[in-house]
Amino acid sequence: KVKQTTVSLREMKKENKRIAMVTAYDYPSASAVEEAGVDLILVGDSLGMVVLGYDTTLPVTMEDMIHHTKAVKRGAKNTFVVTDLPFLSAHISLSETVRNAGRLIQEAGADAVKLEGGREMLEEVRAIIRANIPVMGHLGLTPQSVNQLGGFKLQGKDLDSAKRIFEDAMLLEEAGCFAIVLEMVPTPLAALISEHLKIPTIGIGAGAGCDGQVLVIHDMLGITHNYMPRFVKTYSHLYGSMVESLQTYSREVKEGAFPTTEHEFGMKEEVLYQLKK
Ligand code: KIV
Ligand code: NA
Instruction: Return d(Cα 73, Cα 120) in angstroms, integer.
Output: 31
Active-site residue numbers?
183
Indicate whether 123 and 190 sit together in one domain. Answer: yes
Interval 98-118 mean pLDDT: 98
Alpha helices (H) in 90-158, listed in sequence order:
94-106, 122-130, 146-149
pLDDT for 115:
98
Helix, strand, or coil (residue 237): coil
Q: Cα(45) to centroid of ligand 1, in Å?
A: 7
Q: Which atom of ligand 1 lies nearest, measured to the CA of 116? A: 8
Percentage above 70 pLDDT, the chain: 100
39 Cβ below 6 A of ligand 1 = no
Indicate whether 256 and 231 sit together in one domain. Answer: no
The yes-or-no verdict on residue 1 having pLDDT over 80 is no
Q: What is the DSSP letter of 277?
A: -
Indicate whether 55 and 23 sit together in one domain. Answer: yes
Q: Cα(246) to centroid of ligand 2, in Å?
A: 31
Mutate to test the pocket of ligand 1, among 41, 42, 210, 232 (most ligand atoms within 8 A of CB): 42
Q: Is residue 173 part of a domain?
A: yes
Percentage above 90 pLDDT, the chain: 97
**pLDDT tens digits, residue range 48-96?**
999 999 999 999 999 999 999 999 999 999 999 999 999 999 999 999 9
Q: What domain range includes position 96? A: 6-236
Indicate whether 149 and 191 sit together in one domain. Answer: yes
The yes-or-no verdict on residue 228 having pLDDT over 90 is no
183 Cβ below 6 A of ligand 1 = yes
Domain tally, the chain? 2
The yes-or-no verdict on residue 145 having pLDDT over 90 is yes
- 44 Cβ contact list (under 8 Å, min separation 6): 23, 25, 84, 114, 216
Indicate whether 75 and 177 sit together in one domain. Answer: yes
Q: Cα(138) to centroid of ligand 1, in Å?
A: 9
Indicate whether 258 and 121 sit together in one domain. Answer: no
**pLDDT tens digits, residue range 5-48?**
999 999 999 999 999 999 999 999 999 999 999 999 999 999 99
The mean of the pLDDT values for the chain is 97
Indicate whether 213 and 245 sit together in one domain. Answer: no
CB 137 within 8 A of CB 182: no
201 Cβ below 6 A of ligand 1 = no
- 110 Cβ contact list (under 8 Å, min separation 6): 43, 69, 73, 81, 82, 83, 104
Instruction: Return d(Cα 142, Cα 24) in angstroms, integer.
Output: 19
Chain centroid to CA 82? 8
116 Cβ below 6 A of ligand 1 = no
Closest CA to ligand 1's atom 1:
44
pLDDT for 227:
82
117 Cβ below 6 A of ligand 1 = no
Indicate whether 228 and 247 sit together in one domain. Answer: no
pLDDT for 226:
85
- Residues near ligand 2 ion, CB 5 Å cutoff: 44-45, 84
Indicate whether 228 and 246 sit together in one domain. Answer: no
Q: Is residue 1 part of a domain?
A: no
Q: Is residue 101 part of a domain?
A: yes
Instruction: Return d(Cα 200, Cα 27) in angstroms, integer.
Output: 27
Query: What confidence category does residue 114 fall into, taking pLDDT thresholds of 50, 70 and 90?
Result: very high
At 162, which helix (H) or strand (E)? helix 159-175
Which CATH number does the domain housing residue 190 bear?
Answer: 3.20.20.60
Q: Cα(42) to centroid of ligand 1, in Å?
A: 7
Instruction: Return d(Cα 46, Cα 58) in angstroms, integer.
Output: 10
